[in-house]
Amino acid sequence: MLMGAEWQAIALTLKLASVSTALLLLLGTPLAWWLSRRQGSFAAAIEALVALPLVLPPTVLGFYLLILLAPNSAIGSAWQSITGSQLAFSFEALIVGSVLYSLPFVVQPLQQAFARVPPTLLAAADTLGAAPWDRFISIVLPTTRRSFLVAAALGFAHTVGEFGVVLMIGGNIPGETRVLSVALYDQVESLQFAQAHQLAAGLLIFSMLTLFALYRSEPNAGWAIKR
């Protein structure tokens, strides 16, 4: 059976995925909206930046994040002087990494959905006295709400499944940065195949069920990964 350390890793992973997903929706929504309404080189550059984690080895992102968040970096030292603790190899660093790493999985489905909202409907709402913010709340959100489900599910599942970035910037501190994928790696390293099977199978089934539920409810959700 799973032991205390494994349960701790599972709880930490779920916490990381939940916090990251919430932040991803918060940041990803305005970014996706902006990208869906803009054309030109600048928007294309931002779009490419957001999509980078899809093609980059996670270790590359992790490596640069490690440098960026290290105690002697501007961000790292500012963080240390405010909070009194180190940013690299902390739970907060994992959140930063997860958000960046899963950003395309949230931004792309939202951007696609926003782009499909007919401008004609927004113009109609405009003539009916709806201010821009009101139009977003009253027209865009309700007509794209299923895409938020897709974005949240993909962001959550992808964060649960991440490994490379976590290893580079989080290390392996139980209860702080030792997430499921890292725990699994440890077990394989120490040849504990029975426990490794439990975690691996659990993760496999979780991911499978999440994606199955997603595609059942939203047959076109697949483009975000296939792209």
Partner 1 sequence: MSSLTVNLKCEGAQGFTLNCALQLPLQGVTGVFGPSGCGKTTLLHCIAGLRDPAPHSVIHHGEDVWLAGGVSVPTFQRGVGLVFQDDRLFPHLNVSGNLDYAVKRRHSKPPYSRDTVIDWLGIGKLLLHGVSELSGGQRQRVAIARALLNGPNILLLDEPLAGLDYNAKQDCLKRLTLIAKQTKLPMIYVSHEIQELSHVADDLVIMREGEVTEHGPLIELAGSLESSLARDSNAAAILQASISGHHSQWHLTELSIANQSLWVNALPDSQISQLRLRIAARDVSVTRSRASDSSILNSLAVTLTAMQPCGPGHMLLQLTLGEQFLLARITRKSADQLALQPGDKLFAQIKSTALLSDQGYNE
130 binds partner 1 (CB under 8 A): yes
| Stretch near partner 1 under the rule CB under 8 A, chosen from 27-35, 134-142, 148-156, 185-193 | 134-142
Residue 140: which of 156, 161, 158, 124 has the closest Cα? 124
**Smallest distance from the beta carbon of 184 to partner 1, in angstroms?**
43
Whether the CB-CB separation of 33 and 112 falls below 8 Å is answered with: no
Angle, helix 41-55 to helix 91-116, in steps of 10 degrees: 130
Question: 3-class SS at 42?
Answer: helix
User: What span, in angstroms and rounded, lies between the C-alpha atoms of 175 and 9?
Assistant: 7
124 binds partner 1 (CB under 8 A): yes
Angle, helix 58-69 to helix 91-116, in steps of 10 degrees: 120
Residue type, 64: Y
45 binds partner 1 (CB under 8 A): no
**Smallest distance from the beta carbon of 121 to partner 1, in angstroms?**
6
Number of shown-chain residues binding partner 1 (CB under 8 A): 16
Whether the CB-CB separation of 171 and 91 falls below 8 Å is answered with: no
133 binds partner 1 (CB under 8 A): no
Whether the CB-CB separation of 65 and 169 falls below 8 Å is answered with: yes
Cα 208 to Cα 14, 111, 149, 150, 178, distances in angstroms: 16, 25, 16, 14, 23
**Smallest distance from the beta carbon of 82 to partner 1, in angstroms?**
41
67 binds partner 1 (CB under 8 A): no
**Smallest distance from the beta carbon of 145 to partner 1, in angstroms?**
9
Residue type, 217: S
| Stretch near partner 1 under the rule CB under 8 A, chosen from 56-64, 138-146, 147-155, 219-227 | 138-146
207 binds partner 1 (CB under 8 A): no
125 binds partner 1 (CB under 8 A): yes
**Smallest distance from the beta carbon of 28 to partner 1, in angstroms?**
22
Please report, as ranges, the residues that interact with partner 1 according to CB under 8 A: 120-121, 123-131, 134, 138-139, 142-143
